[in-house]
Amino acid sequence: MAVTLTENAAAHVKRHLARRGKGVGLRVGVRTSGCSGLAYRLEYADAVNPDDLEFESHGVKVVVDAKSLPYLDGTELDYAREGLNEGFRFRNPNVKDQCGCGESFNV
Amino acid sequence: MALLQIAEPEAASGPREPRRAVGIDLGTTNSLVATVCDGVPRALPDEEGRVLLPSIVRYLPGGGVQVGYEAQAHQGDDPKNTIASVKRLMGRGLKDVARSGNAPYDFVDAPGMVQLRTVAGVKSPVEVSAEILRVLRLRAERALGGPLAGAVVTVPAYFDDAQRQATRDAARLAGLEVLRLLNEPTAAAVAYGLENAAEGVYAVFDLGGGTFDFSVLRLARGVFEVLATAGDAALGGDDFDLRIARWALAQAGLGEPAAKDARRLVLAARAAKERLAQQDETPLVCELADGRRLERVLSRATFERLTADLVDRTLAPVARALRDAGLSPADVKGVVMVGGATRMRHVQRAVAEFFGRAPLNDLDPDQVVALGAAMQANVLAGNRPAGEDWLLLDVIPLSLGIETMGGLVERIIPRNSAIPTARAQEFTTFKDGQTAMSIHVVQGERELVADCRSLARFELRGIPPMPAGAARVRVTFQVDADGLLSVSAREKSSGVEASVAVKPSYGLTESDIERMLRDSVEHAREDAQARALAEARVEGERLAAAVRAAIAADGALLAADERAELERLLAHLDAALPGADTAAIRRAADALNRASEPFAARRMDAAVRRALAGRSLADLDV
């Protein structure tokens, strides 16, 4: 059971956290929304809650709440650049299909 | 798929302090403010427990202002400085106002909107309305214990852009952040939770103190669209009071009373009318200025007979609105009753008979609009309870699409689509070996790109070389709840992607939108012709290119005279293409197409022979 970051993604998270000046790591989760049911949550983690699981990846602490983990297990986060945009991309092996926009997905 | 950014944590630990947001019904006769507490919408009372605030403002010498009941008390003795029904003046010019009759005010002509001369100076209707809104804002801040995050203010569905803008300005002047202006009938429907009901047509019957409005709404995918409105700007509960007062005077054998008596009598009549909603008969008592006492018993039957024609008058606009919408009473799935005057039994009965179903009337008809506005404000302020669906009430004002070959617009999201929304459509390449595609995002209702507004351009590069028409490029338009559009394109076989984000309504004023809509209607016919021409050209060019490519590749299959005939028809089509004669282009293309058919068949046979050459039947997977 794990959620991991690529080296590139980890470097970006570290940079973002340093610029923000606080936070213990990166919180990854899912919430219900969007056209296909679930959407990713990607936030700074300021604290680790009792029902959270922690993973260490290239020196970054990744925090996932227990409820989200089944949807995210095995996910690797990458940092990518596409034309004008850059940001984090979820490589989630659990996804069955996703909506056209990619904001939401189904497992 | 989308690229995500790291967000600030949403106060994940511990519930967030709800943001205080209110809904305000700024009415012609009365106004009120409501908010959602613990998930329940509630109207907020003043210090004396009264929920309604008469929409009356009195200006005093020296700059003081009275609003509501205080101002109402002086309507009789200080009419020039006591402004009632200011809503009728919002966004109106002097000409519009003069037509509507004999208000006792000193009107001042001003560019855009009429103004009023009072003892405290010249005031615009916006300023007068702002006084009412300010009182409601202070009431809400006191009740909620702090400044407001924002307000949803309701307006009649028929309000035009100027009237809506004036309402928005008034709210801003009163120190309110306007989250949204909401149509009154929509607010009433929201209060009844109809946005969660079955899709279909609903009606809102709004009989207020001095105005009657009837609206037909269509609910589709959680969004209300106003199909038709009709009404009577001079029909309301006050007319029923006057009938009772006149009847009482006639019964007592009195003539026209003095102004003060008339006012007292009307108040007594109103109280009697309100009691008759519950009782079969009620005493009507009024002391006149000269000490005489007028005392009568009014039965509900008498009251209903006196006012039957007023009730009938409401049904004419109802029928008209339904006719405008192309509907019959049986098509309406529910009728929402709004306005205190709909408490009257015979009004309820008339509506029930007309529609063949009991109207929705279990919410307080005086409050229902404000309650719906409060519910909407609560959602917009971000206090949506977990798991509850987003309330979709906003729509895209103009269609969004992309440019296709020939300068044509392919609409991807049609206007009036509810946001947030996402739609995708597949496009393909036009030329063999095309490796890039330019995507031009446009907004508008016209058929040609040149007549629409250009929003953004971007390029999708790195498409692997393929024959024309083989690439599959999926273009996705996504509009979020704030109207922000992002467009992405993805070639399916290679996975190359490109995207751009634009704000479609940025820089577009309501009048721009209106003009663009008007243009689209006015030019529908010539647009269709232009589209047909452009399509014929694109089709003709594609055919010419294909025939030339075929001749270049398999010219050996053609006899000399066949080849000459094809060349002749190609030249003929080339000559027709730049012209504006759609039919001539079509004819030339058809002729070429027919003449090249045998050639195409021969090429096909040759290709099959080549593919099969040197292979035994066993090798073929048939």
Minimum-distance CB partner of B9 among A27, A83, A99: A27
Structure tokens at B250: 């006639």
Q: Is residue B423 part of a domain?
A: yes
Residue B268 lies in a domain: yes
Which domain CATH number covers B457? 2.60.34.10
Residue B517 CB coordination number (10 Å): 15
Report the alpha-carbon distance of residue B223 to residue B186 in Å, rounded.
9
| CB-CB under 8 Å, A87 with B499 | no
Q: Cα–Cα distance between B104 and B87 in angstroms, integer?
A: 15
Give me the residues of chain B with pLDDT under 70, please: 1-2, 10-18, 98-103, 160-161, 221-222, 383-397, 416, 418-420, 480-484, 502-521, 611-622
Q: Does one domain contain both B502 and B543?
A: no
Q: Is the pLDDT of residue A102 over 70?
A: no
Judged by a CB distance cut-off of 8 A, whether residue B158 touches chain A is no
End-to-end CA distance of chain B: 39
Tell me which residue range forms the domain holding B567.
526-612
| Closest alpha carbon to B546 in B584, B585, B589, B587 | B589
The verdict on a CB contact (< 8 Å) between A42 and B3 is no
Whole-Å CA distances, B60 to B119, B139, B282, B457: 6, 22, 39, 58
- The shortest CB-CB distance from A89 to any of B1, B6, B12 is to B1
CB of A35 less than 8 A from some CB of B: yes
Do B144 and B269 have their domain in common?
no
pLDDT of A58-95, one tens digit each?
Answer: 999 999 988 888 888 889 999 887 766 678 888 888 87
Q: How many residues does chain A have?
A: 107
Count CB neighbours of A61 within 10 A. Answer: 17
Helices B368-380 and B184-191 meet at what angle, rounded to 10? 80
> Based on the domain organization, do B115 and B130 belong to the same domain?
yes
Which residues, 6+ apart, have CB-to-CB distance to B73 below 8 Å? none
Whether residue B1 is contained in a domain is answered as no
- DSSP state letter for B1: -
What pLDDT score does B313 carry?
95
User: What pLDDT does B69 receive?
Assistant: 94
B8-19 CB burial, b ≥16 within 10 A, e <16:
eeeeeeeeeebe
Do residues B375 and B343 share a domain?
Answer: no
Provide φ and ψ at A33, rounded to 5°: 175, 180
| A80 close to B (CB below 8 A) | yes
Mean pLDDT for all residues in chain B: 84
Query: What was the ipTM of the complex prediction?
Result: 0.81
Closest residue on chain B to A50 (Cα) = B13
Say if B500 is an interface residue toward chain A (CB within 8 Å).
Answer: yes
Is B172 in the same domain as B47? yes
Instruction: Please write the tens of the pLDDT for every residue from B542-594.
Output: 888 888 888 888 888 888 888 888 899 999 999 988 888 888 898 998 888 88
Q: Do B103 and B62 lie in a common domain?
A: yes
CB contact under 8 A, A100 and B8: no
- B443, B524 contact by CB (below 8 A): no
Out of B9, B488, B499, the one facing A44 most closely (by C-beta) is: B9
Whether the CB of A90 is below 8 Å from some CB of chain B: the reply is: yes
Give the residues across from B299 on adjacent strands.
Answer: B281
Check CB contact under 8 Å for A82 and B497. yes
> Cβ of A80 and B3 within 8 Å?
yes
* Reported pTM: 0.56
Which amino acid does the sequence have at B497?
E
Residue B313 lies in a domain: yes
**Contacts A104 to B, Cβ<8 Å:** none
Same domain, yes or no: B376 and B441: no
Q: Is A45 on the interface with B (CB under 8 A)?
A: yes
In this prediction, residue B615 carries a pLDDT of: 60
Domains of chain A, first to last: 4-102 (2.60.300.12)
Chain B partners within 8 Å of A98 (Cβ): 1
Rounded Cα–Cα distance for residues A23 and B8 (Å): 10
Burial pattern A67-85, b for ≥16 Cβ within 10 A else e, equals: ebbebbeebbbbbeebeeb
Contact B5 A98 (CB under 8 A): no
Do B506 and B534 lie in a common domain?
no
Q: What whole-number distance in Å separates Cα of residue B60 and Cα of residue B64? A: 5
Q: What is the CATH number of the domain that holds B103?
A: 3.30.420.40
Catalytic residues of B: 25, 87, 184, 206
Contact of A92 with chain B, judged by CB distance below 8 Å, is answered with no
CB contact under 8 A, A86 and B499: no
Residue B120 in contact with residue B113, Cβ under 8 Å? no
By the CB < 8 Å criterion, does A26 face chain B? yes
Residue B103 pLDDT: 67
Structural domain total, chain B: 4
Asked if B436 is an interface residue toward chain A (Cβ–Cβ < 8 A), one would say no
Nearest CA in chain A to B458: A83
Across the A/B interface, how many CB contacts are shorter than 8 Å?
Answer: 78
Q: Which stretches within B307-409 are classed as H helix? A: 308-324, 345-355, 368-380
What pLDDT is recorded for position B255? 74
Pair (B485, B570) in one structural domain: no
Interchain CB distance below 8 Å, B497 and A86: no
Is residue B7 in some structural domain? no
Residues 6+ apart with CB under 8 A from B426: B472, B473, B474, B475
B23 and B147 in a single domain? The answer is yes
In-domain check, residue B552: yes
B178 shares its domain with B227: no
pLDDT at position B165:
78
Mind telling me how many Å the CA of B469 is from chain A's nearest CA? 21
- A2 band by pLDDT with thresholds 50, 70 and 90: confident
Instruction: Give the model's pLDDT for residue B511.
Output: 62
pLDDT digits (tens, 9 = 90+) for A15-50: 888 888 888 999 998 876 544 557 788 888 988 888
Assigned domain for B561 exists? yes
- Do B485 and B549 lie in one domain? The reply is no
Say whether A32 and B476 touch across the interface (CB within 8 A).
Answer: no
B200: in domain: yes
